Chains A and B, each alone.
Chain A
Amino acid sequence: MKTLLATLALTTALSAPALAAPVTLTTNLSNYGGDGAYLALYVTDSKGVYKGSLWMAGGKAKYYKHLSDWNRATGGNTAEISGITGASVGAGRQLKITLDLADALFDAGYELHIDAAVEDFRDSPSEVVVPLTRAGANKPVAGRHYIQDFTYGL
């Protein structure tokens, strides 16, 4: 898995080389009865200011505007997700990614967002918003429309 240490270290202006540990992000989609969902996983600070992207599920950039919060924060800049893009996720399927996240991101007020969009269905920006805390690890959080639950495991 591509390390996010560098990008996140830069955007969060953490000067000292941070310690990083592998984190597993598990997203289970519900059976919403539609085509595959586009998902954008990204981190903001406690005020909602975008810090960096973790993963983009969905290959066609023309649809990214439907991930409207992510799109708004990044201006749709695909450089933000260069190398961390995969296929869209079918209804009822699971997206599981493991990546190195800086330790400093936890218990520091950062939030993980997931924007979701499905063809011909309503867009669902910030479908999941979960604070990154060590205590919150391994505790499933439900989404609003398409995400059955989301868990990050340390």
Chain B
Amino acid sequence: MLRILHKVPGLIAAILIVVITLSGTVLSVLPAWEVVAEVPSRPEAGLSVATLVDRIAITYPGVEQIKRSPSGKITAFYFDGGQPGAEVIDPATGIGVGPYQRSGFARWMTNLHRSLFLDDAGRWAVAADAVSLLTLSVSGLMLTARRVGGWRHFFSRLRGPLTGRLHVEVARFTVVGLLLSSVTALFMVASTFELIPEAENPPVFPRVVSEQTGAAPGTMALLRDTPVSALRELTFPYPGDPTDVFHLITYTGEGYIDQGTGEVLIWANAGLWQRVNETIYMLHTGQGAALLGVILGLMALGAPFMAVTGAMIWLQSRRARPRIKGNTPAGQADTIVLVGSEGGSTWGFAATLHRALQEAGHKVHTGAMSGFRPERYTRAAQVIVLAATYGDGTAPTSAKGFLDRLAALPQAPVMSLAVLGFGDRQFPHFCAYGAEVARLADQKGWTSLLPMGTIDRQSPQEFARWGHALGEALGHPLELSHSPMIPQCQALTLVSRRDYGSDMQTPSAILRFALPQTGRIARLMGRGFGKFSAGDLLGIVPEGASVPRFYSLASGQADGFVEICVSRHPGGLCSGQLLALKPGDSMQGFLRPNPDFRPQANAKPVILIGAGTGIGPLAGFARSNRPGREMHLYFGARHPDSDLFYGEEMQDWQGDGRLASVTTAFSRTETRSYVQDALRNDAARIARLINDGAQVLVCGGRDMAAGVAEALADILAPTGLTPALLKAEGHYVEDTY
């Protein structure tokens, strides 16, 4: 719901928001410009309005009105020989420094900003736009809090794809300004249309005046007591009209002064409501608060930026997630399918399940696990949870908050529950998150429709089997034929290969493919291979299989080729096919971004730790490193003569400064050393580097990563740091397989 609230007005109002915020930014500069460029001099301290009027009256005897803008610019309006004039006045001398002109540009921009040149209709449109901006800001704030795991972590480091990160990063620094500007905008619209009460009535024109003339303004007590800094405007009586009076408006109030006696006839202090009105006007326009205006203007630039990145995020997620056709509203569905997915593949299974259940006559609602609201499922007979597992059993993105919400329920929902976990048996914690969901539901006493099922590596066969079991429980046949959605692949042609490890019975190779050529239009449509860096993943679908395998890229786009490091797995279909490639042969592949696994964009040292083919992305980082940034490589292999991948390059990179040091450990030599042993030998240096803010990047097998984490925990123990702490800050990143 929150996401819909953020998305729909966002997309509709995006264009209008861009226009309004950009014009707002331009306008925000004007008050500052006026202060800097159009105010001739600051009045001397304590200069009174009386003295100022005396000075001006010498040069402009026909002065009718004196105005002071919030910037401090003083303008005199006068009549001279029947001709009206207006001059900007230097308060030090009372002499004009140039004619006063209201800038046509500012007026044009103001009218665009507040009414799109459409008068009242335009003002309403702009008001609606301010409402959408406000809605977006509030829902965006809540989404951000949800994303980072609570308000306390509001400014914590962000993870995930670049577009999403940029969107949130800009949002959290500009949302304050957008909230302020949209709320004050709505107040001003309401004020324009008189929907909120006007400020207290100004004092009425005095009924009785002395009907004398001739008191010099310079002698009037009120004008002598009023400093120029408090002046807004002073209007002179009509020449020759003894019933007319001086009219003074200041920041504290307004009143009338007799032109014959110089006495104050009526004075009324500005009320609280008027001050509120004026403050809101100042906060919105920056008039009287030029610096704040510029800051708000800069923050307003966040809106067009977020409009663009927001639209991109929406497009990307549309592409990544299959469309659920005929989604029944949650309140009318008899079956609720909840999806916990990280990369999007579980949504594909959900779509298949949704379709099959629908064909079996069910009314099905499919949504994210994070949107779990059992109180809305008024007609549901069963809830089916499809839960992937992320990392070591943490909730995948679309399931954030599910367990908390389930735990908080006073009692188990009345409908029954089926849980299906998705995972990979190669990893420890297989389907750990799904199991946790099932465990908590059981503990709550939630009726189970059928025992928890598991799907290993997106197996369509297992999914179909589970479908039969589900159908049995539901009392009708259910056929789930799922073919995983694989992104559009590109043909990758092998350019060269370097072979290793044949003498150790583990053939392996560095495979270098040519960069796939994509047309400009395909790229624009997002159909090309895409931009990539070392550390991103290359998905390869081997012939005879429907599920892709992923390899860490050892090169970036700038290198001009696609490189991976592959070793033969016993019985491995994909590695076998890859290692059988000869130059000129090709495989189908696609790109999957892995934006968290790469050196941070700063100048801090980097410690690269890897073993076996895990060297791939690390070599890529070293290759694209610029000399001067300290990068240390710890590399574990079996034997220097067998699988020392990138051995020659490492020497070159050390020579030109791209690598500050290279430390190797060999497990099949006499020394029998592993990479974690090498770390322990270097404990002092590693502790110092990490203390200095170094980032640690680990790539390789699970066991190696666990050993490395253990070694680092020991090394860091004296400093009070832990790998877990470093991980939380993004200073310790793993890519394991």
Contact = CB atoms under 8 A, between A and B. Distances in A.
Interface of A: 33-35, 60-62, 65, 68, 72, 75, 120-123, 144-145
Interface of B: 64-65, 67, 77, 84, 86, 102, 104, 107, 111, 191-194, 198, 202, 204-205, 235
Nearest to A120: B102
Nearest to A122: B77
Contacts of B65: 122-123
A65 B202 contact: yes
Given A34-B102, A60-B194, A72-B205, A120 B107 contact: yes
Contacts of A62: 191-192, 194, 198
B192 A145 contact: no
The winner among B77, B86, B102 for most chain A CB atoms within 10 A is: B102
A35 B108 CA distance: 9
A80 to B, nearest CB: 15
A121 B205 contact: no
A35 B120 CA distance: 13
Nearest to B199: A62
A33 B77 CA distance: 17
Contact of B102 (A121, A123, A145): A121
Contacts of A34: 102, 107
A62 B198 CA distance: 7
Contacts of A72: 205
Contacts of B107: 33-35, 120
Given A33-B102, A72-B205, A122 B86 contact: yes
Nearest to B193: A60
Task: Please name the 8 residue pairs, one residue from A and one from B, whose CB atoms are nearest each other, closest first.
Answer: A72-B205, A122-B77, A120-B102, A145-B84, A62-B198, A62-B194, A33-B104, A122-B65
A96 to B, nearest CB: 20
A122 B75 CA distance: 10
A33 B106 CA distance: 12
A70 B189 CA distance: 26
Given A120-B107, A122-B67, 9 more contacts: A33-B102, A34-B102, A35-B107, A62-B198, A65-B202, A75-B204, A120-B102, A122-B84, A122-B86
Contacts of B104: 33
21 contacts: A33-B102, A33-B104, A34-B107, A35-B107, A35-B111, A60-B193, A60-B194, A61-B194, A62-B191, A62-B192, A65-B202, A72-B205, A120-B102, A120-B107, A122-B65, A122-B77, A122-B84, A122-B86, A123-B65, A144-B84, A145-B84
A35 B114 CA distance: 13
Contacts of B235: 68
Nearest to B205: A72
A86 B204 CA distance: 26
A130 B332 CA distance: 74
Contacts of B193: 60
Contacts of A122: 64-65, 67, 77, 84, 86
Per DSSP, chain B at the interface is mixed
B621 to A, nearest CB: 59
Contacts of B204: 75
A58 to B, nearest CB: 12
Contacts of A123: 65
Contacts of B111: 35
Nearest to A65: B202
Contacts of A60: 192-194
A31 to B, nearest CB: 11
A100 B134 CA distance: 51
Nearest to B245: A72
Contacts of B102: 33-34, 120-121
A65 B200 CA distance: 13
Nearest to B100: A122
A145 B77 CA distance: 12
B284 to A, nearest CB: 16
A125 B699 CA distance: 81
A33 B191 CA distance: 25
A121 B191 CA distance: 20
A15 B438 CA distance: 95
B31 to A, nearest CB: 13
Contacts of A33: 102, 104, 107
B254 to A, nearest CB: 11
Contacts of A120: 102, 107
Contacts of B86: 122
Nearest to B77: A122
Nearest to A87: B119
A123 B204 CA distance: 17
Contacts of A121: 102
Nearest to A119: B107
B632 to A, nearest CB: 65
A55 to B, nearest CB: 19
Contacts of B67: 122
A123 B198 CA distance: 20
B84 to A, nearest CB: 6
A145 B192 CA distance: 25
A65 B77 CA distance: 19
A152 B204 CA distance: 32
A60 B189 CA distance: 12
The winner among B67, B107, B193 for most chain A CB atoms within 10 A is: B107
A34 B86 CA distance: 15
A76 to B, nearest CB: 8
A144 B79 CA distance: 10
Contacts of B205: 72
Nearest to B202: A65
Contacts of B202: 65
The winner among A34, A65, A122, A145 for most chain B CB atoms within 10 A is: A122
B240 to A, nearest CB: 11
Contacts of B198: 62
Nearest to A75: B204
A13 B64 CA distance: 36
B98 to A, nearest CB: 17
A32 to B, nearest CB: 10
B214 to A, nearest CB: 21
The winner among A34, A62, A68 for most chain B CB atoms within 10 A is: A62
A75 B204 CA distance: 7
Nearest to B101: A33
B127 to A, nearest CB: 15
A33 B84 CA distance: 15
A149 to B, nearest CB: 16
